[in-house]
Amino acid sequence: MTTLKQEGFNYLKQKGYARAVKIYEQVASIDVKNFYNMAELLEIYLFQKDFTKFDEKISLLRKNTLDERDSLILFYLKISRYLLKENLLEAKEEINKLIIFSKKNPRFFNIWDFSDMRSSATYTNLSDGEVKKILDNLIQYLSASMSPENKTKFENGNY
């Protein structure tokens, strides 16, 4: 990890999102094709609820998606954005696409460290309603930590 990226990572872990964004934007501008740097930046935008910047940069991430693992991360980010904006219809449509995709690519689970999302104020401030339930289930599904029974329910539309 480069020194600059390490500095951004440290701010991220300390929940210094404004500083983390500045550094990750710098890192992303240096290597615009690095999928993971851009994905981390987009996730921080979600923590800040900066959906405008997220929407501006998501196409760059989509262009640099190389494999199934990248595709699952892209699904996670897009679905999380819909959920945090409380756009349940779009979120559920993307989840359906994710499930179809993941059944074709089952070996690519546990693709991301979701601890930053789970510890963010954006996540912890969600009320215990449908949005939080779906986001919790999405994270469990993608981290392969769902019970087989709950996984079946999730894949059958009970998000």
Condensed to tens digits (0 to 9), the pLDDT of residues 28-86 reads 999 989 999 999 999 999 999 999 999 999 999 999 999 999 999 999 999 999 999 99
| Calculated CA dihedral for residues 133, 139, 145, 151, nearest 10 degrees | 60
Q: Are 123 and 117 in contact (CB under 8 A)?
A: yes
pLDDT digits (tens, 9 = 90+) for 104-150: 987 777 778 899 999 999 999 998 899 999 999 999 999 988 999 99
Query: Other C-beta atoms within 10 Å of 84: how many?
Result: 20
pLDDT of residue 127: 87
pLDDT of residue 72: 94
Element holding 147 (H helix, E strand) = none
The label of the residue with tokens 């940069």 reads 57
Q: Which domains, from first to last, does the chain contain?
A: 1-66 (1.25.40.10), 67-159 (no CATH)
Q: Are 130 and 88 in contact (CB under 8 A)?
A: yes
Q: Torsion-angle region of residue 71: left (phi > 0), alpha (psi -120 to 50) or beta?
A: alpha
And the tokens for 47? 């923590």
- CA 94, 70, 144: angle at the middle one, nearest 5? 70
**What whole-number distance in Å separates Cα of residue 67 and Cα of residue 123?**
28
And the tokens for 108? 């690519």
